[in-house]
Amino acid sequence: MSTRCLICESSAVLSKEAVGTLVMLASVIGGFMNAARRLSDPEAASPEVKPINLEQVLGFVTQGIELAQRQWAENQPFLQDARRFQFMQHDCLCLRCGALFNRAPEPELNPDSGVG
């Protein structure tokens, strides 16, 4: 079940934990773009442009992931700032209305209550 905003009922809610995933994804995309740019720079001078094959694309992805892993420590201050200043002490941020809130606690199953 997805978390919904307590104010506007939107499902466009970002959790504090998901921010780390987004920072890693942005790093991978940045590394992919840097790898692709390095390949295209020498070829930019040639009049004949060769299509990029699947092996090159997979190489770009691999290089992007490797770069993101190397830069993970450098991205930690950004990640900590995003969690601290965007989320403050809350768990969730609504991307639609900007509301900050905590997730509702999961109900505990009590075998003696007959529920669950």
Q: pLDDT per residue over 39-80, tens digit each?
A: 666 555 555 666 777 888 888 888 878 887 888 888 889 889
- What is the average pLDDT across 24-53? 71
Is the model more confident about 37 or about 14?
14
The predicted structure's pLDDT at residue 103:
85
* 3-class SS letters over 26-94: HHHHHHHHHHHHHHHHHHHCCCCCCCCCHHHHHHHHHHHHHHHHHHHHHHHHHHHHHHHHHHCCCCEEE
Domain range summary for the chain, segments of one domain joined by +: 15-101
Is the model more confident about 4 or about 111?
4
Average pLDDT, the chain: 81
